[in-house]
Structure 1
Amino acid sequence: MSPPPPGQPYRPGPPPGWSPAPGMFGAVHKPGAIPLRPLSLGDLYDGAFRIIRFNPKATVGSAVLVAAVAMAVPVLVTAVLTWTIGLAYDPSSGSGDDVDNEAISYGLLGVGVLLQALGLVFVTGMVVHVVSAAAVGRRLTLGQAWSATHGRRWRLVGLAAVLGLTTTLGIAAFAVLWVVTAVVAPLVVAILVIVATVVLFFTLLFWFWIRVYYLAVPPMMIEGVGVFASIARGYRLSRGAFWRLFGIGLLTWLIAAIAGQMLAVPFTIAGELGGLAAGDDLYLFVTVLGTALAQVTSTAFVAPFTSAVTSLQYVDQRIRKEAYDVELMRRAGILES
């Protein structure tokens, strides 16, 4: 900095209008939705919302499409049963036929939820590619995101089956242990064993969620590895970062659950009130329709947001452990290959 002109006092600091040269104090490259450096909680959430905002068809659109197709099944079947065999329900009667009809409607909704869960496996894979592209400033359409999962879709199904079966077997094992303990052991011993194993159960469940389940899909999509290799890759990436991943994952789940309920409640209430107004003959159809719309609306936010945050945490872990930001800079054209 040059000295002040003669006759003017010296004032510390830069002169008016001065600004640092590019890169003088270091630069944070941000060619896309996220800065290419280790990500803070604010970076993760800001990046997730940016990705959803600038890729709405490939994120919200894909989730809505899957949820709408899945939930159309219980709505259409309920409509057919209503107008053919008279699937009626009187909320005040409690008769056997009414109980059976209500069970049928809940069963149909359960089928829709299962179909939606299967479809959302593919949505998660698509969102991973959307996030990867958004990190370097590229935007994917719905068709491009779907095409990016080509060759890995059955792997996604296999991964979901392995993780789901493992979770189910683990929960079933603890449930059997609790039932046997309650039946065989004295009351005091049974209470102590159940309390102790409940703590162990949730500890193992949370450990499994973060170390095995949480980061398994992104490696399969981005790195092209198989089912068990993707689980092992997620396990390695989560090593030494359990509490950070767990805290952000739990907070994300709470935000998604609260927001999803806020979006769904109006449709659920409208379905109940509409069912009462429509009468016994149409009560189940209207309530199923309202529940289906609530499910679609909730999924439109929950699925893209949680998938985007998880995918960004995968990117963050690779940046922290493997200098993945350098690779992303090369892909963005910031650095030469």
Structure 2
Amino acid sequence: MTDTPGWASPGSSEPPRDGTRPTADVPTVPGQSAPPHDTPPAWGTAPGAPQPPYGQQPGGYGQPGPYGGPAGPGGQYGWGAPQSPKPGIIPLRPLGLGEILDGAMSTVRKHWRTTLGLSLGVAVVQQGASLGAQLAVKGDTGEYTPVVTALVSMPVTLLLGVVAAALLTMVVSRAILGQSVTIRDAWRDARPRLLQLTGLTLLTGLIGVGVVLLGFTPLIGYLLAGAEEPAIVIPLAVVGLLSFPVAVWIWIQLSLAAPALMLEKQGVLTALSRSRRLVRGSWWRIFGINVLSQIIAAFVAGVISTPFMVAGLVLGFDDLARQADTGDSGALPTAMLVTMAIGGVISSTITLPFTATIGVLLYVDQRIRREALDIELARAAGLPEYGGTGWGGQPGPNPAARL
């Protein structure tokens, strides 16, 4: 999928202005040009084909419009714009909130073997690592047990997150064109970029953590000096808390870097710069969609995990009661940990593909809005009215469809 022409970055060093989209005859990829035309051809008619007389054109004056009603003098734009092509999970045009959410759910629904298989494998290893860390610590660190457990399992969690993001990005990129993909295909496409994606993930994480630590540095230094004057501590604490909105702002600015790195074969720093350009002017929209998707995923995960948590409390009630009587703050009962881990596996399996797909669809939506990527995607999908020739610019079906 990374070889598909539509994913290449624009050849111009100056990005398009915010809120503008190039016309259909402006190429978005170096060395390619769209077929010239003065007026857009009717949907379903190849460019250059003879057109029927005006009164007989679909949606022409006096003819049924695209939604069943009579069309006006605008021909095919009678009662509304013609429907955009939809070879895969999304229509190839600027997307609304509902279409992005529907595209994410459609990816899981239509490609459930690949998406759920990937997320299940990742969730099993991730929850297994967390469970193993908790059983190894056994509560010996007291109230710091959750922190120690998180630190022990963090490398595995980070690596699995990178692998899941890379593979699911490849799945979504093909699903947009209506192409099927297996886990083997996704791994083959994503493997060359895994090291760079790992570096990108570490760098963005360090940037966010560094901003927060920088904000709290004055407060930490003041407290370490042994001073605790409230008139100084409170303002310093406010300064530290203000670092969180700054970290969130940076997070959104860099949120499209991973898809840019994977699909455009960009370097780490170039992908970060690319993300900032794509987000510019749309920060609040991207922030809102990201937050909403996280809320939806958290709600679904909570609904799934709650019964397992309750079952774990029932199974471990005797051990918890004995610890309360003896004042022991040891580890949670093993039965409770195992039950909660099973719930975590199921919830992660369902929610991970959804949240990963949202990020890729936001990237595609921004490129459609700014760079007319929809035209290149229509060509890559093999739509003849856009001059498409099939998969990756080569005639014939997608080779992944035979697997």
Q: State the TM-score bracket (shorter-chain normalisation).
A: 0.7 to 0.9
Give the partner amino acid of 2:368. Answer: I
Identify which of 211, 214, 225 aligns with 2:253.
211
CA offsets 1:50-80 (integer angstroms, 9 cap, x no match):
001111232222112012023223545777x
What's 2:400 paired with? none
Identify which of 102, 110, 121 aligns with 1:46.
102
**Structure-to-structure mapping, 1:230-245, within 5 angstroms:** 230-245=271-286
Higher share of residues assigned helix: 1
Deviates more, 1:44-53 or 1:166-175: 166-175
Give the partner amino acid of 2:355. Answer: T
Note the C-alpha offset of 1:251: 1.2
SS at 1:152 equivalent: helix
Deviates more, 1:134-143 or 1:272-281: 272-281
Deviates more, 1:244-253 or 1:52-61: 52-61
Structure 1 pair 285–223 and aligned structure 2 pair: CA distance change class (3 A) = same
SS at 1:30 equivalent: coil
What's 1:56 paired with? 112
Give the partner amino acid of 1:194. Answer: A
Note the C-alpha offset of 1:108: 4.5
Give the partner amino acid of 1:228. Answer: L
Identify which of 192, 216, 220 aligns with 2:235.
192
Alpha-carbon distance in 2 for matches of 1:54, 1:244: 27
Structure 1 pair 130–286 and aligned structure 2 pair: CA distance change class (3 A) = same
> If the length of structure 2 is used for normalisation, what is the TM-score?
0.68
Alpha-carbon distance in 2 for matches of 1:239, 1:159: 20
1:271 and 1:291 in contact (8 A); partners too:
yes
1:155 and 1:226 in contact (8 A); partners too:
yes
Note the C-alpha offset of 1:253: 1.4
Number of residue equivalences: 308
What's 2:368 paired with? 319
Identify which of 387, 390, 400 aligns with 1:336.
387
Structure 1 pair 252–223 and aligned structure 2 pair: CA distance change class (3 A) = same
Note the C-alpha offset of 1:232: 1.1
Note the C-alpha offset of 1:99: 5.2
Give the partner amino acid of 1:202. Answer: F
CA offsets 1:240-263 (integer angstroms, 9 cap, x no match):
111111111111111112222222
> If the length of structure 1 is used for normalisation, what is the TM-score?
0.80
1:78 and 1:285 in contact (8 A); partners too:
no
SS at 1:27 equivalent: coil
What's 1:300 paired with? 349
**Structure-to-structure mapping, 1:79-228, within 5 angstroms:** 100=141, 107-108=148-149, 111-112=152-153, 114-181=155-222, 184=227, 186-199=229-242, 201-212=243-254, 214-228=255-269
Alpha-carbon distance in 1 for matches of 2:164, 2:70: 44
1:129 and 1:145 in contact (8 A); partners too:
yes
Alpha-carbon distance in 1 for matches of 2:308, 2:166: 29
Alpha-carbon distance in 2 for matches of 1:192, 1:108: 33
1:71 and 1:113 in contact (8 A); partners too:
no
1:67 and 1:116 in contact (8 A); partners too:
no
Note the C-alpha offset of 1:166: 1.9
Q: Percent identity?
A: 31
Which ranges in structure 2 are unaligned for 5 or more consecutive residues?
1-54, 57-61, 324-330, 389-403
Deviates more, 1:125-134 or 1:65-74: 65-74
Is 1:286 the equivalent of 2:286? no
Deviates more, 1:133-142 or 1:275-284: 275-284
What's 1:275 paired with? 316
Alpha-carbon distance in 2 for matches of 1:297, 1:102: 28
Alpha-carbon distance in 1 for matches of 2:248, 2:145: 34
**Structure-to-structure mapping, 1:60-75, within 5 angstroms:** 60-75=116-131
CA offsets 1:226-282 (integer angstroms, 9 cap, x no match):
111111111111111111111111111111122222222222222222123579799
CA offsets 1:138-182 (integer angstroms, 9 cap, x no match):
121222112210210111111111112222222222232222345
Alpha-carbon distance in 1 for matches of 2:152, 2:140: 18
**Structure-to-structure mapping, 1:7-26, within 5 angstroms:** 24-25=76-77, 26=82
SS at 2:197 equivalent: helix
1:63 and 1:304 in contact (8 A); partners too:
yes
2:129 and 2:156 in contact (8 A); partners too:
no
Structure 1 pair 64–13 and aligned structure 2 pair: CA distance change class (3 A) = closer
Deviates more, 1:120-129 or 1:305-314: 120-129
SS at 2:191 equivalent: coil
Structure 1 pair 180–152 and aligned structure 2 pair: CA distance change class (3 A) = same
Give the partner amino acid of 2:161. Answer: L
Give the partner amino acid of 2:252. Answer: I
Alpha-carbon distance in 1 for matches of 2:196, 2:144: 34
SS at 1:151 equivalent: helix
